[in-house]
Amino acid sequence: MNAISRALWNPIVAKEYRSRMRTWRSPLAMTIYIVLLGGLGWAVFAAMANSAGGFSLPFAGSNYGQTLFTFLILFQVALLAFITPALTAGAISGERERQTIDLLFVTRIPPFSIIWGKLLSSMSFVVLLLVLSVPIFSLVFLFGGIELDQMLTAFLVTGVTALTLGLLGIAFSTLFRRTLAATVVSYGAAFVLVVGTLVYGLLFPTDVDPSATTVPAPPAITFLSPVLPLLTIASNQPIQGYGVRYTNGGTFAASGGGCTVQPGGNPVCFSGGPIPGKGAPAYLTNASTSGGTIASGLFSGWQYWQASIVMQLAVCGFALALSAFVLPPVRRRRFRRKPEPAVSAG
């Protein structure tokens, strides 16, 4: 067995695969996952079918395929944010509670292989859930509006998000000796990653001058959340109006009228002629963005999903390095020992 095979398949992976799939919890989790996702798809489809009778979904336009895809992909991320921490938060702390972690340390398996085996077995189950959801997502092609590359990119963002949450769960499982504490902190980290970063964009938006020549972008930390890239993938348009705040007191002209920025930072536009001496902001007239391209900021010229994946992979690297450093019971540090003073015979 070569090095790659040993890395991808070690005794930890084999043991986790057999113990996980032989219990009733895994089939039950898969069943609940598919029922919830399929139930949401049916509810959205029924609401769209009844839209002619006066009921309409929020942001549901003429393209029902985009609306159905948006609901399904966001709900799938929410489900994985709930499932993934439960899979990994007890990976190492559970071994400590069962008093079997010392048995792993005395084997020839390196500590990094223990972490990798726990992570690979958990992420394989997540990949299985993603594969099971493909038939449900294929229904959006019946309505149109979604291309295959959008579907693949959305699943890539979802998979990287699940990997990030899984590595955070592994890291907290190595830091805390109790599974309950590791689980609570893992769910807190998942909430911060998915929702907290979006709230940060609302509380601390990017200040924008009306005379700016580029389309404003929200703070870079908001790209950690998979919600922004998934929305841009589904709509194939950049995010407008989120995470930005116009400079107080700014006044500029708009199409068919003018706009004045109120003290809260929000523009108020009115009809009529343009304001004398004020031209329309360049980013409303000259700048153009294609698809989900970020026009300004740290990731200028990138796609939203590219920025999100890069930032999440950085979090993954930090969590993996932290786990590999904390897990070993003995850490060898190479320091020069001071020479002992010579003892004179007397």
Query: Could you state, in order of their start, the residue ranges of all structural domains in the chain?
Result: 9-206+301-326, 220-285
Q: Which helix (H) or strand (E) holds 251?
A: strand 251-254
Using DSSP, how many helices (H) and how many strands (E) does the chain show? 15, 5
Q: Phi and psi (nearest 5°) for 232?
A: -70, -35
CA distances from 251 to 59, 244, 256, 257, 280 (A): 29, 16, 15, 11, 9
Within the chain, which residues score under 70 in pLDDT?
Answer: 1-9, 51-62, 209-215, 247-291, 330-346
Q: Is the pTM of this model over 0.95?
A: no
pLDDT of residue 280: 45
pLDDT of residue 255: 40
Name 277's bridge partners: none
Query: CA–CA separation, 9 vs 121, rounded Å?
Result: 10
- Alpha-carbon radius of gyration of the chain: 26
Q: What is the pLDDT of residue 83?
A: 92
pLDDT, residue 250, reads 46
Instruction: Using alpha carbons, list the distances in angstroms from residue 337 to 28, 97, 292, 333.
Output: 57, 37, 57, 11
pLDDT value of residue 236: 81
For 154-170, how does the pLDDT look when each residue is reduced to its tens digit (9 = 90+)? 999 999 999 999 999 99
What percent of the chain lies above the pLDDT cut of 70?
74
What integer pLDDT is reported at residue 52 of this predicted model? Answer: 52
Residue 2 confidence (pLDDT): 62
pLDDT at 287: 43
Count CB-CB contacts under 10 A for residue 207. 13
Cβ burial of 144 (10 Å; 0-12, 13-18, 19+) is exposed
Name the 3-class secondary structure at 340.
coil
